[in-house]
Structure 1
Amino acid sequence: MLAAVALAFDMTSVLALMYPGRERVEILGQDGVTYVYACKPGPAGETPAAQAAKAQAAFEENATKFGEAFAAELMQGIEAGAPTLGMALDMTRKTDGWAGAITAHLEKTYGCALLG
């Protein structure tokens, strides 16, 4: 009989290695999920924790706006009878683009990388 052994692997610790000199900060989001950031101090001496809080607020606001636009576009496509595969591919492309843009924004504006 084979026994399956679950391996727990925390990717956030590996990702943190990519951001040396930054502090790992955990923030509880409005959705009850814990988000992990690697942050550096702010330009006016704000702590990494303060920067992470600002980054999380920006992330949540941006995610809400993206989600609302995503849902509206999806409903519009359904109502118009758009092909399902085409809509799925288009929405995947837009989601990937949004993820890249918000990641760059958090890094540039707050000095924080969202790790998980």
Structure 2
Amino acid sequence: MTQHPSRLVAAALVDAAVLVLAHEPVPADQVVAGAPTTGYAVLDDGAGREIGVWEMSPGAMSDTEADEVFIVLAGDATVEFADPAHPPIELRPGSVVRLEDGMQTVWTVRETLRKVYIAP
């Protein structure tokens, strides 16, 4: 099992693109299509915020968001916003997105999506 730090060490390197993540099935009440799984690792949880890596396999799931900014490292997906209503967004490597606490979303992943997130 890979150990992940709870606080990044100064000048240390973590390659978020290849970090091994243990996946679990998405809870049945959140599955919209397919059999998606998710995995994550917290890299740093100091200074009043959390930085981590999150990944979702192909499929679709509903979610209630937390305040977060993320950068997509890999994959292809669409996020639809049920509440509040916003136009859907297409995610690909390099996409930077801010989500707000309480947003109701549906994530449709066509190619395994991996992101680095920062959340309070």
User: Could you tell me the TM-score, scaled by structure 2's length?
Assistant: 0.27
Structure in which a larger fraction of residues adopt helix:
1
Structure in which a larger fraction of residues adopt strand:
2
Computing the radius of gyration from Cα coordinates, the structure with the larger value is 1
Task: Tell me: higher relative CO, structure 1 or 2? Use CA pairs within 8 A at least 6 residues apart.
Answer: 1
